[in-house]
Chains A and B, each alone.
Chain A
Amino acid sequence: MADEMWVNMGPQHPFNHGLWNLRVRLDGETITAAEPIVGYLHRGWEKMVENRTYPQIIPLADRLCYGSSFSWSHLYCLAAERLFDIEIPERAKYIRTACLEIQRIISHLTWLMALGTDLGSYTILIWCLREREVFIDRMVDICGARMTYNYPRIGGVRNDLPPNFARDVIRSLDLFETRLQEIEALTDSNAAFRMRTVNIGNISAEKAINLGLTGPNLRGSGVELDLRRHEPYEVYDDMDFEICTATDGDAWSRYRVRVDEMRESDKIIRQCLDKMPEGPVRVKVPRCPPKGTVGCRVEDPRGESLMYIVSDGTDKPYRLKVRSPNYINLSAAPAMLLGYKISDVPSIMGVLDMCIGETDR
């Protein structure tokens, strides 16, 4: 091949959100090879937590992903609770489930607004920002922080819900349901948006499973798999919700899955508020866990996230390994990029929902 060339899309490039680099080899405009390069934001998180006590790690876990911080600090607390072998109060489980789903809506709206900018529609950006603000306000009501909440604790949650929380959330959800239809009108019936996502970035179900894709990206390839259903944690086994799938395996399917998931989250939050019992929200926890290991996984907004903790009986973890869903989704990106044009890169990568904080750790 005479005229192939490598192009660095990053670390500073309008299409990549966060600090990473996508090297693509081009034959004309067609991508013939691609290599994502990560590590620009590597903070040594796993080494850092080996020198922190168990409660000190909760705010650090928040910073793994600034877009969906609650799901990370919740995963850490869930894993630590299984390590300490304690059962948390029923009310705390419902509060956590509701917050997880609020977080999922926030995270998906952040993704959709980023996708909107990538594909050139600033209206999507502004409208999603506006809707997201409503849910951020609900989280501010609970814990006072907008993005890194530091709200779950090992043994429950930090404080009980504020007065009238359920009323405010239901009002927010009612507003959100109508507003989501308006946002969908901007995307679904937008010819430019469809042209840039339909039949772009195809990946088959078998290949997606083998490459380790999880979460909405896998469900977009027609695999009905959701750890909230298949390995229930908190109170998800009492909740009535659908697993959203789409079968085409292209960028459009992955987009559809996420938008549908926001509606399912809406349903779950309403059920949580409806069924939430009264009672305490936190139990006392000893300082040091027993010796042992625990591997715990949950359905993050981006896929399967897992924490593996090794305890040696002291008040600090001996080893804490994080499986970041986005790290593996990104490693599978070359399989989606090959054969498409360089102008398709923003839509393929934008739909993957990149978050470099959790990728590089």
Chain B
Amino acid sequence: MKVIIYDKPDRSEDDVARAIESKFPGAVEVLKTAPRRIFLRVTRESFLDVCTYMKDELSFEHNSCVSPVDYIEHFTVVYHISSWANHIMAEVQVDLPRDDPTVDSITPLWGGADWHEREAFDLMGVVFKGHPDLRRIMLPEEFKFHPLRKDFQVGRRV
């Protein structure tokens, strides 16, 4: 077997960001680009299409992290998606309304997102549509709360 080498980046940050923005006009907003980073905001409806395009066409091979954040008025799920070939990490933000925190699962694309999404569901209560096995992972099955939400009272008896 031969070694897969990622020594030189294939495309620049601006190039990749422009490609995504022009492919999905209106659905993707490029917040900024920095060395080795691009920052995107994507609508919930087109999120899975954007991710599929990023994986298939722009060689984003790796899902680094899925971080849900509770901003009281809404949730934001921040996906860190890495392209090893381009040496870029994209930070994709998806805003979700607080009364319906549902977003498409990316586990079918990147198997590494599986446990990240289970953890986000467990601790923050974000529901990932299309996840093969969305169960609690850290806390017991019968636990009634999502403790990382800001309205969770720290120190209560559960």
Contacts and interface: CB of A to CB of B under 8 A. Distances in A.
A360 B152 CA distance: 20
B114 interface: yes
A212 interface: yes
Contacts of B110: 210, 212
Q: Which DSSP category, helix, strand, loop or mixed, fits chain A's interface? A: mixed
A330 B70 CA distance: 27
Given A44-B147, A306-B80, A223 B65 contact: no
A165 to B, nearest CB: 33
Contacts of B69: 310, 318-319, 321
Contacts of A323: 64-65, 80, 116
Nearest to B36: A231
Nearest to A309: B67
Interface in A168-210: 205, 209-210
B130 to A, nearest CB: 17
A321 B62 CA distance: 18
Contact of B138 (A38, A51, A249): A38
For chain A, the bracket of interface size reads: 35 or more
For chain B, the bracket of interface size reads: 35 or more
B137 interface: yes
Interface string A222-248: 111100001100000000000001011
A47 interface: yes
A64 B6 CA distance: 30
Nearest to B137: A39
Interface stretch (B18-26, B41-49, B83-91, B97-105): B83-91
B65 A308 contact: yes
Contact of A321 (B37, B63, B67): B67
Given A39-B138, A306-B65, A224 B80 contact: no
B138 A212 contact: no
B111 A223 contact: no
B115 interface: yes
A211 to B, nearest CB: 4
